[in-house]
Chains A and B, each alone.
Chain A
Amino acid sequence: MLIMRHELLLVTITVILLLVEIFLPHDKKHKIILPAILLMGLVTIAGFIPGPTGILFGGMYGTSSLILLMKNILNIGVFIIFVQSVSWLKLEEQKEKISEFFILLLSTLIGMDYMISSGDFLMFYLGLELATIPLATLAAFERYKEKSAEAGVKLIFTSALSSGILLYGLSMIYGTTGTVYFPEVSAAYTAAPLQILAFIFFFAGMAFKISLVPFHLWAADVYEGAPINVTSYLSVISKGAAAFIFMIILYTVFNKIALMWRDVIYVIAILTMTLGNLFAMRQRNIKRFLAFSSIAQAGFILLGIIGQSQLGMTTVVYFVLIYIFSNLGAFGVAAIISNKTGKESIDDYDGFYRTNPLLSLTMMLALFSLAGIPPVAGFFGKFFLFASAAKQGMYILVFIAVLNTIISLYYYLLVIKAMFLNRSDQPIGYFKSDGYTKFGLAMCVAGIIIIGLASPVYEFILKLSYGLY
């Protein structure tokens, strides 16, 4: 029981919220916000309490300290998103559906937790689907908006397609090895042609989920259409969880063909970083902008995966942790601006510093962290990722990646330029943020500053990590 405590806790609060929702009168739906956030906060804290690890259901489900840590990281991210979405949920349009938002978000999180913990491909697939389907609902949350509805449909179609591809690959694995359990598959894997084909299908399916080039095309449209808080969830939590399980499966199941997938990832990483960056440069809508930037960031994550070592695994987890705080910081500011004024174009940010200095500074810190500028955390995340790739002697790849950070710096600076440098006749006026928003952004800023400078965080993750060999 205790081994599955993360999932069980989440299920419990989901049920509690469902029950409360039933008994809440029609005009008092917003009363659920505070309990939901408090419960999620409790679960997040409870997740850090040390407890047993091990396997359940004959190996279908298993946890280790590292997996627990990954779940805790996701919990923190979801907690911040809960806090950040309050100002959006309180808008007139969402009033009826507040608890749905929390419940759907929690169910996708439960799916991701199961996915990360999976010990066989069946459980993995179940978790994946549980994580994906509610997300489509969430993307279409503002259903009266055409773009939101379109985003939902796009998301469900692309994920159905990618799931199909993934399943096809899994069926080949089962067909050739006669098992779906990770250790047994790994042992029976002989790199026969059909098995390699299976790997390719599996890879393509996962690449859809993480939105790696050339499987990224759905991301921008969905990110733009979905409500901004859902977009931040998609680009941070969903991507982070998929990257975790992708790495675990590559390390544990496909370890025999590591030399092969290393080359594949090498190429895909370069493509993802470069194309993501080049497209991001041209975007004027902040959501599309952050969408492409997050595609580029996924490319950087691959640099850690390619490291194949304990260092590589550590840096991936560490980078995702930092990425969650930085990206949520950026999305948080974009969300509050969008909620207060309805403006989502970077051109509208002209002169924002002069009216809202604190929000602008938060945005600047978050973007610098995404770009990897010291002394904020992103610098450390990127530096260590590069170090793990350089350890394998891939200096050229590192060089291309660093050049990409320069490109990314260019477009992050464009946003900063709009806020700080440009002057505007009609800047966005001063507005007061509510307590929830302030709290959410303060958490992000604290994370962005502390996680890098405080070395114990990194050392702690390192202790739990393992490599390929």
Chain B
Amino acid sequence: MDILTSFIVIPFLTIAGLVFCKDHKQVKLTAAIGMGIQLILAAVLIILFLRERAAGNMAEMLFVKDLVWFPSLNIHYLIGVDGISVAMIGLTSIVIFAGIFASWEVVELPKEFFIFLILLSSGVFGFFISLDLFTLFLFYEIAVIPMYLLIGIWGTGPREYSAMKLTLMLMGGSALILVGLLGLYFNSNPSGGQLTFSLLAISKVHIPVEIQKFFFPFLFIGFGVLGALFPFHTWSPDGHASAPTAVSMLHAGVLMKLGGYGCFRVAVFLLPEAAHELGWIFIILTTISVIYGAFGAIWQKDLKYINAYSSVSHCGMVLFAILMFNKTAMTGAVLQMISHGIMTALFFALIGMIYGRTHTRYINEMGGLMKVMPFLGVAYVIGGLASLGLPGFSGFVAEMTIFVGAFQNVDAFHRVATIIAVSSIVVTAVYILRVVGILLLGKINNEHYEHLGDAKWYERLSTGVLIFGITAIGMAPLWLSEMINGGLGPIIQRLLMASPIH
């Protein structure tokens, strides 16, 4: 079995193991072992990948495997990775590993919880390794559907409402994607002959501009829904707020990145001319996302809502950067996906842990927590500083790259949009510092809080892994951005061919 397929097989083996578990302890152990193996495997994949590249293997995709599935429709099980997908796989395995430990205390139906959580992660892994649009779509839906049960059964607050809203909106997005994919398929061979779902094959084809312009909105909005594109972001705050900790982590950390990844790997990459011509609409929308999300976060009092809106803002930044159509900005987009993925997972993990102690998520009801739980407090500050883009953390690297790239577009429209988006950094600083001030510093305003304990070992492990990720990217971003750069080559090339201006 090749290394990529094992990313799908291991989650399913873990699920099979979970089915036979007898008690709570076994369940947790099995899940942790399974996802631990997954994390090691991801590290091995990164090393193997870098070694291949260093050895001069410059193929577009590495570790490619191609099996025919439905011969008559030319549907393949076609997998392979480039630098971008390797980075995303790394991100996913870190977040799911931390997620398992963050949900160490799930009491109600623990077996089912971990089964659905791991099922969801298997969909995400499958999505990132797929090069065939059919399997890509299949895994996309596998990743979305368990959310309903995860939020609905283990969530808090208006969980049923949020779960239904989230599921229907995301499936609405996938409806758009489905139409777009079928459009790509039936236009994948304009000269007649065998049609194909293969991403690589379609990327070599020139699809007539009129057809591109018809299908581009389907694909971009479809994936954009998952990437919290304004005005299709409304599922995100409700969903995140109601979801249990690990699900918020995985969802904001990884699932929303599926949207960004799909936007450039499918929509922009395969329909470059349409992306150039229609890009301005989406630049406006994403700029609104960035600013609106940041301002939305200021007014919220619930920690999870604050983080959910900040995710809208940060993910908006990803889509914004993708639409800048140059290498620097796109590198920034991928860096931002990874940086935000780890950072927001850290936030949600910490919020879950704090909530588990104080039983409230309203910032006004808390204060001085730094004194009671110094570990969690420091971790929160680190996450916050990374989020507002302090040098030395991953957020700085990502946002800096994005804005430098965006500013390379010299026309007034792009400049104005960039300046507006940049200003969101200030707003981000405001809400992050406000939360840190109210929540962690100052006096303890509730005597019940004085006896709360600090993080337990599994919580330390969970946060430790994530903080390691943030600082590793922040301190040594070069290896990552180079890996991403290599993957962006063909995409940029195709975009440049499509546009005479650049």
Report B71-92 residues with CB < 8 Å from chain A CB: 71-73, 75
| In the assembled complex, A375 has its CB within 8 A of some CB on chain B | yes
Q: Are B167 and A409 in contact (CB under 8 A)?
A: yes
B160 interfacial contact with A, CB 8 Å: yes
Q: Which residue from chain A places its CB closest to the CB of B75 in the assembled complex?
A: A455
> A402 to chain B: which residues have CB within 8 Å?
175, 178-179
Cα–Cα, bound, A417→B186 (Å) = 37
- Give the residue name and chain of the B residue nearest to A404 (CB): B175
Q: What residues on B are CB-neighbors of A409 within 8 Å?
A: 167-168, 171
Is A368 in contact with chain B by the CB < 8 A criterion?
Answer: yes
- B186 and A391: CB pair below 8 A? yes
CB of B149 within 8 Å of the partner chain: yes
| Contact present for A420 and B164 (CB under 8 Å) | no
B164 and A410 contact, CB distance less than 8 A: yes
Nearest chain-A residue to B144 (Cβ)? A373
Instruction: Say whether chain B's binding surface is mostly helix, strand, loop, or mixed.
Output: helix
Cβ of B138 within 8 Å of any chain A Cβ, yes or no, is yes
Which of these binds chain B: A42-50, A106-114, A382-390?
Answer: A382-390
* Contact, CB under 8 Å: B164 / A395: no
Q: Do B183 and A395 have beta carbons less than 8 Å apart?
A: yes
Interface pair A375/B142, CB less than 8 Å apart: yes
Q: Is there contact, CB below 8 Å, between A390 and B183?
A: yes
A386 CB contact (under 8 Å) in B142, B168, B178: B178
Tell me the minimal C-beta distance from B212 to chain A in angstroms.
Answer: 14
How many A-B Cβ pairs are below 8 Å?
79
Residues of chain A lying within 8 A (CB to CB) of residue B159: 421
Interface 1/0s, chain A 394-423, versus B by CB < 8 A? Answer: 010011001101100110010011001100
Q: A413's contact among B72, B142, B167, B185, by CB below 8 Å, is which?
A: B167
Q: Quick one: CB contact mask for B400-440 with A, threshold 8 Å, 1 for yes?
A: 00000000000000000000000000000000000000000
Contact A384 B73 (CB under 8 A): yes
**Are the C-beta atoms of B164 and A374 separated by less than 8 Å?**
no
Using A374-B141, A375-B142 as known contacts, say yes or no to A406 and B171 having CB atoms under 8 A apart: yes
State how many angstroms separate the Cβ of A270 from the closest Cβ of chain B.
15
Find the A residue at minimum CB distance from B139. A374
Whether B468 is near chain A, meaning CB under 8 Å from some CB there, is no
Decide if A184 is an interface residue (CB 8 Å cutoff). no
Near A by CB (< 8 A), chain B positions 372-392 give: none
Set of chain A residues within 8 Å of B186, measured between Cβ atoms: 390-391, 393
Q: How far is the CA of A439 from the CA of B459 in the complex (A)?
A: 46
Q: Are A421 and B175 in contact, with the CB atoms below 8 A?
A: no
Question: Taking the complex as formed, is A458 at the interface, i.e. its CB lies under 8 A from any CB of chain B?
Answer: yes
Complex interface bits, A365-383 against B, C-beta within 8 A gives 1, otherwise 0: 0001000011100010001
Whether B153 lies near A375 (C-beta < 8 A) is no
- Whether A421 and B71, one on each chain, are in contact in the complex, defined by CB atoms closer than 8 angstroms, is no
Answer yes or no: B490 CB below 8 A from chain A CBs: no
Residue of A nearest to B152 (CB): A421
Tell whether, in the assembled complex, residue A459 and residue B72 are in contact, meaning their CB atoms are under 8 Å apart: yes
> How far apart are the CA atoms of A455 and B74 in the complex, in Å?
11
B128 CB within 8 Å of chain A: no
Of A374, A403, A455, most buried by chain B (CB within 10 Å of CB) is A374
Q: Which residues does B use to contact A, with CB under 8 Å? A: 69-73, 75, 134, 138-139, 141-142, 145, 148-149, 152-153, 159-160, 163-164, 167-168, 171-172, 175-176, 178-179, 182-183, 185-186, 214
Query: What 7 A-B pairs have minimum CB-CB distances, sorted nearest first?
Result: A402-B175, A390-B182, A421-B152, A374-B138, A455-B70, A399-B179, A374-B141
Q: Could you write out 11 A-B pairs with CB less than 8 Å apart?
A: A374-B139, A375-B138, A384-B73, A395-B179, A395-B183, A395-B214, A406-B168, A406-B171, A410-B168, A413-B148, A413-B164
